[in-house]
Structure 1
Amino acid sequence: MYEKNRPIGLLDSGVGGLTAAKEILDILENEKIIYYGDTLHLPYGPKNLDDVRKYVKKIVRYLIEEWKVKVVVLACNTATSAALEILKKEFSIPIFGIIDSGARKAVEISKKKRIGLIGTQGTISSMAYQNAVRSYDIMQKIYAEPCPLFVEMVEKGEFTGREIEKTAEKYLQNLIKNDIDVLILGCTHYPYLAPVLKKIVGNKIKLIDPSLEIAGDLKKFLIKNDLLNISPHAAEHQFIVSDIDKIYQKFLVEGRKFLKLDNLHFVEDNIFTEY
């Protein structure tokens, strides 16, 4: 019973991974979430992947040692592409990355075998999504586009508006020209922008939110391994960041509405003081 009652740990470079936290809470309502957003080092996308691995490894150790989590979800595509396999070898606790779930779903629903991918520069350059898609279907064609400005916009709480639309139109034009029928939102920040993205790509292109897919995979894992918390209780979720000054007030307002998390409050715990 003790194992079942332990929390689920999630991490991201900032507030983007809260989209994954929300999906997990929706289908695992008895689970407690410990969320760590590394706002001190935001964004991960353009950073050296060795540095990203160093940050992520530190956070995973913190979640395990300080919060006794039963599983860790890398609710960040860049972190997943940079560190997942290394972390699985170093830690005995189950660790999930968000990429495989999204890639599998995209392959399942693409009729044309022409998949679009948007993400950070780090995620796109790592080829993690491209390799994951082709592991399910070698015949899939993948068209990728880095969207570096999206993370900054979301962190500031800017989810709509003409500036967002203009930026999205610029990023998506080549993908649309390539006649894709599926678009993977390869960054957990991007679901905040889904209404704008959907407006631009139209109804013929299906958006894939890997956050939704990882939540389903996590539930299956917990059930299979007898780790699902079935005891109803008022879970006291924790939302922690490494630099609270990087949390914009506008995000708190807009993010709470978008995520439907009225109790979304952050506390600071900078575990990187030696860096």
Structure 2
Amino acid sequence: MRIVFFDSGVGGLTVMRDACRKLPSESYLYYADTLNVPYGTHSKEEVYGFVADCIDDILSRYEVRAIIIACNTATSVAVDDLRKRYSFPIIGMEPAVKPALQVVRESGRRVLATATPLTLKEDKFRRLLGKLEEPSRVDTLGLPGLVRFAEDGTFDGPEVREYLREQFAPFDLERYGAIVLGCTHFVFFKDAIRELIPVHMLVMDGNAGTVKQMMRVLELEESSGQVSEPDIVYMSSLGTEEDKRKLESCFRRLP
């Protein structure tokens, strides 16, 4: 049985990388819905249909131990209904806004939460903000362009940095203590983002928390054993060999 990581594209590879580091001997399957990426530009109903179809495709070929929806957008619009539909564990992503606020509390600085536009407007994200002690200290920024860059394999360079500069321009970043990467695609751009923000700003994401939750639900403990290569199967909704090679290449380039 395999632990499945699902995303619209390459972003969820960053979450699976963290899982492989802690649990190198487990068997994994990575599935990218490259037919419909990016999710952030689709409706809630469309995204749910995409995800359900992809999970059915996975289940027709493999036995599944759990599915990690390694996509904040898919989690925000579909995870509750997916848990009702399937009996195996389904683990979603959550932007690391709460821990970011905790980190900046003493400094009095603000938190900038970035995500796809669909994630930011969904009820799940608003409910998350509603649970916080100081939601008024959180500002949001949609960065859909980073998804497009990641899917094109452009993780740094003049175009990326100019896009980020334009998006950050309306914000006085000196007032912020942390930036939250609320889309797994954005994790690929940590280095570029760090170069453009004040040195005191922390860059935070939800990957570690997601893997920790996965381990808790599956009752797994971090392994000290070493394997030369993790056991990973790559799949995509397009189903092409080129897609599979692209996913494996992106995974191997992760630090």
Report TM bin, short chain: 0.7 to 0.9
Structure 2: gaps (5+ residues):
none
- C-alpha distance in 1 between matches for 2:150 and 2:198: 22
Residue 239 in structure 1 maps to residue 234 in structure 2: yes
Matched, 1:62 2:57: yes
Shift of 1:208: 1.0
Report SS of the residue matched to 1:14.
Answer: coil
Q: Which residue of 2 aligns with 1:105?
A: 99
1:52 aligns with 2:47: yes
Partner Cα distance (1:181, 1:229) in 2: 31
Whether the 8 Å CA contact 1:31–1:229 is kept in 2: the answer is no
Deviation digits for residues 234-259 of structure 1 (CA, Å, limit 9, x no counterpart) = 75211111123874988865x24532
Greater Cα offset, 8-17 or 131-140: 131-140
Structure 2 vs 1, CA of residues 134 and 109 (structure 1 numbering), >3 Å: closer, same or farther?
farther
Alignment coverage as a number of residue pairs:
250
Q: 1:25 to 1:257 in 2, by over 3 A?
A: closer
Q: In structure 2, do the counterparts of structure 1 residues 231 and 170 end up closer, same or farther at CA, with 3 Å as the change threshold?
A: closer
How is 1:51-200 mapped onto 2 (pairs within 5 angstroms)?
Answer: 51-99=46-94, 102-111=96-105, 112=108, 114-177=110-173, 179-200=175-196
| Relative contact order, higher structure (CA 8 A, sep 6+) | 2
Deviations 1:213-253 (Å, cap 9, x if unpaired)? 21122223322xxx569796775211111123874988865
Aligned CA distance change for structure 1 residues 178 and 59 (closer, same or farther; 3 Å): farther
Q: Pairwise CA RMSD of aligned residues?
A: 2.7
Question: How far off its partner does 1:186 sit?
Answer: 1.0
Write the distance in 1 (CA, Å) between the matches of 2:140 and 2:123: 10
TM-score, scaled to structure 1: 0.81
Stretches of structure 1 that go unaligned for 5 or more consecutive residues are 1-5, 261-275
Task: Output the amino acid matched with 2:102.
Answer: E
Describe the SS at the equivalent of 2:35. helix
Q: Secondary structure at the match of 1:158?
A: coil
- Structure 1 residue 7: deviation in Å? 1.5
CA distance in 1, matches of 2:221, 2:60: 21
Identity, % of aligned pairs? 24
